[in-house]
């Protein structure tokens, strides 16, 4: 087997295992697939050196071996020239994936027992961001425990508890969330607004246009669809057509910013045609679902996947549109949900990226469908714990 060399951080078993375990179910028409979050501040590119991690691939681009700085290269001769892709990251030389062996490609064993959480209070996690306008984004969804819509007062109370994070990502337009988040998030943030159902592009884009009311300075990006290829819901042709339809409608209303689609890094690597669909590449990536990555190595893992996506997309700008770690749930291999590990993972992510990263999620989402397929962790991704209007059932 011929081996090619890319100077990018490790592709792992996630490419096979993650889709089976990775779905933040969304309720309410579009609520059977993930939480949604609004707006984003402009994120500047800051380039730094990523961990010295190498993935060896064959002539077809399939990963065959991963090596780190302290490891020798595999015995196969690398027949292709090395190339490197740099994404906006911080110096992550100290971050290493602490898995003693390559993660298994089969689904890891896990307990089907209900997840337990020792405290319903917000975890003691302290954000490194001190004010709005920093380079990180955060995801947010406006639903109560029973799946009904939060009020403007509820959303205002939520944002009073979110320090920093210059961008807010939402996933849809129901519940008047675009207007409510714009009102609650303050003047120093921008919105990354989402259209969830690509079959409703025209009507959802109009809702965004109405909420903008002619002021597009508060919008960073508009996304169309979330993980539709990963879930097998849509074809690439359908997603591409929807993005172009949205772009045309929004430009007619004066919007000149990016329009993209978002999918998992696994789906993008498997379908590089997605690279050309939007103005940049939006990739969701969660180290927890790999099963072979410890919490404090989450940053190195996600940097590696961001670089792999950028390489597959010819160096195109990549934004990690979701990444986090659950505070409760069942173990997934060496990945263990806990508040301490959540804090470690978020710190690792922030030490690895200086921008172009959305932390998933602001608050726990008890309106979602918790299940063993996502290790009974679906409720517990909120880095600020429970929202006052969305508490444990």
pLDDT tens, position by position, 108-167? 322 333 343 433 333 322 223 333 447 899 999 999 999 999 999 999 999 999 999 999
Distance CA 299, CA 61 (A): 23
For residue 322, indicate whether it is catalytic.
yes
Q: Average pLDDT, whole number, for the chain?
A: 77
CA 195 to chain centre: 16
Distance CA 225, CA 44 (A): 24
Q: Which of 372, 274, 295 is nearest to 95 (CA)?
A: 295
In this structure, the chain runs to a length of: 393
Residue 41 has pLDDT above 70, yes or no: no
DSSP 3-state of 302? helix
Q: What is the pTM of this model?
A: 0.72
Residue 198's pLDDT is 97
Which tens digit of pLDDT belongs to each residue from 301-356?
999 999 999 999 999 999 999 999 999 999 999 999 999 999 999 999 999 999 99
Task: Give the percent of the chain with pLDDT over 70.
Answer: 66
| Strand positions, DSSP E, the chain | 4-7, 54-57, 63-67, 83-84, 136-139, 167-169, 190-195, 219-226, 259-264, 281-284, 318-323, 357-359
Phi (first) and psi of residue 334, to 5 degrees:
-85, -5
Specify whether the CB–CB gap between 166 and 188 falls below 8 A. Answer: yes
CA 1 to chain centre: 34
Residue 90's pLDDT is 54
DSSP 3-state of 335? strand
Residue 235 corresponds to which tokens in the numbers above?
A: 């074809």
Which tens digit of pLDDT belongs to each residue from 228-255?
999 999 999 999 999 999 999 999 999 9
Domain boundary assignment for the chain: 21-48+89-374
Specify whether the CB–CB gap between 37 and 373 falls below 8 A. Answer: no
Specify whether the CB–CB gap between 355 and 130 falls below 8 A. Answer: no
Per annotation, catalytic residue among 204, 227, 322, 378: 322
**Which residue(s) pair with 54 in the sheet?**
67
Residue 287 has pLDDT above 80, yes or no: yes
Residue 134's pLDDT is 73
Which tens digit of pLDDT belongs to each residue from 58-96?
444 444 344 433 333 333 333 333 333 445 555 433 333
Through-space distance between the first and last CA atoms of the chain, rounded to whole angstroms: 54
Residue 80's pLDDT is 33
Residue 148 corresponds to which tokens in the numbers above?
A: 């009904």
Query: Is 21-48+89-374 a domain of CATH 3.20.20?
Result: yes
Which tens digit of pLDDT belongs to each residue from 260-282?
999 999 999 999 999 999 999 99
Give the pLDDT mean for 166-189. Answer: 98
């Amino acid at each position: 087997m011929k081996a090619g060399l890319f100077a990018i951080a490790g592709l792992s078993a996630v490419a096979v295992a993650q889709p089976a375990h990775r779905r933040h179910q969304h309720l309410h028409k579009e609520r059977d697939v993930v939480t949604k979050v609004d707006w984003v501040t402009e994120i500047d590119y800051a380039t730094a050196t990523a961990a010295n991690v190498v993935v060896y691939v064959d002539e077809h681009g399939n990963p065959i071996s991963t090596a780190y700085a302290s490891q020798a290269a595999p015995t196969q001769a690398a027949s292709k020239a090395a190339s490197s892709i740099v994404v906006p990251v911080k110096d992550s030389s100290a971050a290493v994936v602490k898995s003693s062996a390559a993660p298994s490609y089969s689904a890891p064993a896990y307990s089907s027992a209900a997840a337990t959480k020792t405290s319903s209070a917000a975890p003691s996690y302290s954000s490194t961001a001190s004010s709005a306008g920093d380079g990180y984004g955060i995801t947010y969804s406006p639903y109560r425990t029973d799946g009904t819509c939060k009020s403007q007062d509820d959303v205002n109370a939520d944002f009073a508890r979110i320090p920093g994070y210059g961008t807010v990502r939402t996933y849809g337009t129901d519940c008047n969330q675009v207007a409510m988040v714009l009102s609650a998030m303050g003047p120093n943030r921008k919105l990354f607004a989402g259209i969830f159902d690509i079959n409703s592009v025209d009507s959802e884009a109009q809702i965004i246009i109405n909420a903008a009311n002619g002021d597009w300075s508060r919008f960073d990006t508009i996304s169309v669809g979330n993980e539709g290829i990963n879930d097998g819901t849509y074809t690439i042709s359908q997603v591409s057509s929807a993005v172009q339809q949205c772009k045309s409608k929004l430009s007619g209303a004066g919007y000149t910013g990016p329009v993209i689609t978002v999918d998992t890094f696994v789906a993008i690597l498997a379908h590089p045609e997605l690279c050309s669909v939007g103005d940049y590449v939006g990739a969701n990536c969660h180290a927890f679902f790999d099963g072979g990555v410890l919490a404090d190595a989450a940053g190195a893992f996600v940097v590696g996947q961001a670089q792999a996506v950028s390489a597959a997309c010819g160096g195109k700008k990549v934004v990690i549109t979701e990444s986090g770690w659950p505070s409760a749930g069942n173990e997934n291999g060496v990945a263990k949900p806990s508040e301490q590990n959540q804090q470690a993972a978020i710190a690792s992510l922030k030490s690895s990226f200086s921008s172009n990263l959305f932390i998933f999620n602001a608050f726990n989402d008890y309106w979602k469908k918790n299940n063993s397929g996502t290790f009974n962790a679906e409720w517990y991704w909120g880095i600020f714990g429970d929202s006052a209007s969305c508490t444990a059932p």
